[in-house]
Structure 1
């Protein structure tokens, strides 16, 4: 899943939490929010059928099969998949549009190199020992390696850490409290020719090479190494010499989202429902994210049968999500202040058919350690999903708002957000087997970002259950967003949104 925004990736910024315009007129006539007990009365979950979602996924699989095996950005597979979505929406009576954008794409032209050349020679393997951080600068450097406060979580976070740093040397720093970008900027300002950032090993999952990003193009090469590499470099002594080579560039590319909205509903209280349409280059991406985009597409098609609704529902099929949430970020940043204020909430559906699935609801209350503090109203969205599952005797669990999917830009803009996720590269526990079935000790989706993410590896029970919850939430908020944004729009509460992740890449 994911680097930066279009013109150039940028760090998280201060965003106002906005409470969107509510249904003042409806409230005046006593129209309120349907309580959870009335969830079974909804029509849309009965209209959105798993067989139809499966048919969309089969068609997306066929499109990938005949177009290089994937639906990645910049490929015929993505273009034909977009044509399919547009055609389906038009047949259902929508007027879909291509929301086009340009962005600065970071590209590695060849495999990066990291080696210790003294006091003894040792080559490190790309992928196993280290990974180039996205938006690393290019360079080919052989120079002394100098650890910088390398036993501290604040390693390289302050300019003072680089006092007396030898000009032209390669900095060796530990991952910790500040962003990789901050470490890289401090190193470059001190005259470093490259930076090796090694993992901290705080958890079992934090021992390997760091899949990170410096968010904005750095002036020098930056690679993320494993704990083992860090230990080797910091124990090598004063004669340490390193070779770092990164062959990369930033070039302007373009892509597009597909946007369609209902004809009926208030234009000043819009419910946005989104899923990314692109896959990774490695495969057809049936779970990630044909499952989400197919369910959103079928929900849009069946939505027309509800007739008049109170709030406009806008359906979005995001592009270049796998390059760093670019399509959704460009969309939100391209809106005017007034257009952003018209959005009541955002619902995100990224992977709903994981083979070893869980029923995960985004943490709108901000209770999980890895979640950022979500905009006001996000907890109400979470409760709608939880009540839906509970009403059907199904267990659900919260999942982190970590910055790994397309909700990120909406939350940074202060827009209440929520959604569902069936699990990716996390590991299922014994307790979760009791909730969902499946296999303990295995990833929720062992095929994540591989060629094996195909139709043979979809859990259709997961698609059925999560698409029902999706349809329920869309119908609920199309009727009323009262618990999410109230009846008055304010711009009083402010909070800085600072994710630790940007899609699949770590920021710190």
Structure 2
């Protein structure tokens, strides 16, 4: 459901009350007449300092966290909306601000939970997964993304009796063959097996799927025959390229209450609507943390770039349309981006040109999310675009300022997972190094207070203006070449 700020949003969540914001943009003004100058040449340090203190105070007033499902997250949404709503008169017609609601995941410790299987943004029902299997799935890995593989035919699909669960493996579709038990047969190592009826007219698998006997065996479920055949047909169209899926946990009873959250968006009216560059950061924190590095730092950078844009004439000069996204629930396997991706029309999905992510930019080194890296770290050459385009653009920008950057393979998966696995779009972004305070109480303002200038440089790089000829322009933010 989509709400335009602020009347519809107020009726649902009542989060539109104004928050006093002192946001002096004098440090990013430029009198050169260049519409991009205020954005690309600005010193963002003062604004970042103020914004991060605001997020820290929000956490302090709300039991020390800004986690989804708690008051601190709602207050963070309110704060972002208050900043986006203070458009100067010359910007009112050049930006659109809205929110989209989503449901948080249900409690996996109840018997009302069941998994659904999302492939190519279409949802399929999995039957036969026991609650212990679902709990095992959720406890072994935070990521619910997995490649899809076709298992061997006949009795070879029954599997080896002692093969263990592999949290980095595939979801394997195997034919029903009256196996005594189905286990991971290392073809390849599996995260789960889905059994289907390969022939005949019966849509359902005809008998109850036997449960694996080994305590560490791979979870086994079954899927309707017609659904399985459709997935396998899709798999055949991805010859030589990985087909990714996502397992989403849902509540069996629709009346069971679940937390409602919001993604916040701001988009330029100007720019080519056929090429939408999305720049995003997750807004929530872990439950025991203020989350100032993880990830108020990325959220603050987006707000400061937005403020600088609205104070300049730049939007009317954009090559592409720019969409800022503050994602609502990062901690629970990025469910807010998954639900958002499923709601997009096919046309809107096609029009996404690229994604740039900001995550934990307040500490460590100048890390660049390695474009083209699959979830296990391998290079994915099947995306249909230069797999290092976004990465190289940031590397060039840092180098031009005499700064050493570090390529980072994002094995943990973040919000960019949807863009690289579901939409198959160019993606990348900026991140920092390991932070011992991540997810802990010590991730408050003091955790990043000495690194504001470092954050300011990375924020400036997000809005870097490339002076190359148009055909050679590489992805900055609005200057992404038309793909």
Same-fold status (TM-score > 0.5): yes
Q: Deviations over 1:124-164 (max 9, x none)?
A: xxx9xx9466799xxxxxxxxxx933379799968699986
What's the counterpart of residue 191 of structure 2? 180
RMSD: 4.3
Given candidates 162, 185, 204, the residue that maps to 1:149 is 162
What's the counterpart of residue 82 of structure 1? 77
Given candidates 414, 420, 424, the residue that maps to 2:430 is 420
Give 3-state SS (helix, strand or coil) of 1:329's partner: helix
What's the counterpart of residue 247 of structure 2? 215
Given candidates 250, 258, 267, the residue that maps to 2:264 is 258
Task: Measure the CA separation in 2 of the matches of 1:408 and 1:157.
Answer: 20
* Alpha-carbon spacing, 1:95–1:353, altered in 2? closer, same or farther (3 Å): same
**Which structure's relative contact order is higher, taking Cα pairs within 8 Å and 6+ residues apart?**
1
* Alpha-carbon spacing, 1:215–1:337, altered in 2? closer, same or farther (3 Å): closer
Runs of at least 5 residues in structure 1 that lack an aligned partner in the other structure: 1-40, 111-126, 137-146, 200-212, 219-248, 424-443, 490-508
Given candidates 309, 322, 344, the residue that maps to 2:317 is 309
Conserved? CA contact 1:173–1:195, under 8 Å = no
What's the counterpart of residue 209 of structure 1? none
Of the structure 1 ranges 72-81 and 96-105, higher mean CA displacement relative to structure 2 is found in: 96-105
Conserved? CA contact 2:295–2:359, under 8 Å = yes
* Alpha-carbon spacing, 1:316–1:488, altered in 2? closer, same or farther (3 Å): closer
Conserved? CA contact 1:104–1:251, under 8 Å = no
* Alpha-carbon spacing, 1:300–1:378, altered in 2? closer, same or farther (3 Å): farther
Q: Shift of the alpha carbon at 1:105?
A: 2.9
Conserved? CA contact 2:263–2:326, under 8 Å = yes
Within 5 A, what are the aligned runs for 1:73-472?
Answer: 73-93=68-88, 94-102=95-103, 104-108=105-109, 131=139, 148-150=161-163, 165=180, 177-182=188-193, 190-192=209-211, 196-197=215-216, 215-217=247-249, 252-307=258-313, 308-310=316-318, 311-354=320-363, 357-366=364-373, 369-370=377-378, 372-373=380-381, 376-402=385-411, 404-411=413-420, 412-423=422-433, 444-458=434-448, 460-461=450-451, 463-472=452-461
* Alpha-carbon spacing, 1:150–1:63, altered in 2? closer, same or farther (3 Å): same
Q: Shift of the alpha carbon at 1:92?
A: 3.5
Conserved? CA contact 2:173–2:195, under 8 Å = no
Q: Shift of the alpha carbon at 1:217?
A: 4.9
Give 3-state SS (helix, strand or coil) of 1:420's partner: strand
Does 1:60 find its partner at 2:55? yes
Of the structure 1 ranges 260-269 and 78-87, higher mean CA displacement relative to structure 2 is found in: 260-269
Q: Shift of the alpha carbon at 1:332?
A: 2.5
Give 3-state SS (helix, strand or coil) of 1:389's partner: helix
Q: Shift of the alpha carbon at 1:347?
A: 0.7
Task: Measure the CA separation in 2 of the matches of 1:350 and 1:341.
Answer: 25
Task: Measure the CA separation in 1 of the matches of 2:98 and 2:417.
Answer: 23
Task: Measure the CA separation in 1 of the matches of 2:195 and 2:142.
Answer: 12
Task: Measure the CA separation in 2 of the matches of 1:341 and 1:156.
Answer: 26
Task: Measure the CA separation in 2 of the matches of 1:468 and 1:132.
Answer: 37
Conserved? CA contact 1:99–1:257, under 8 Å = yes
* Alpha-carbon spacing, 1:85–1:316, altered in 2? closer, same or farther (3 Å): same
Q: Shift of the alpha carbon at 1:54?
A: 1.9
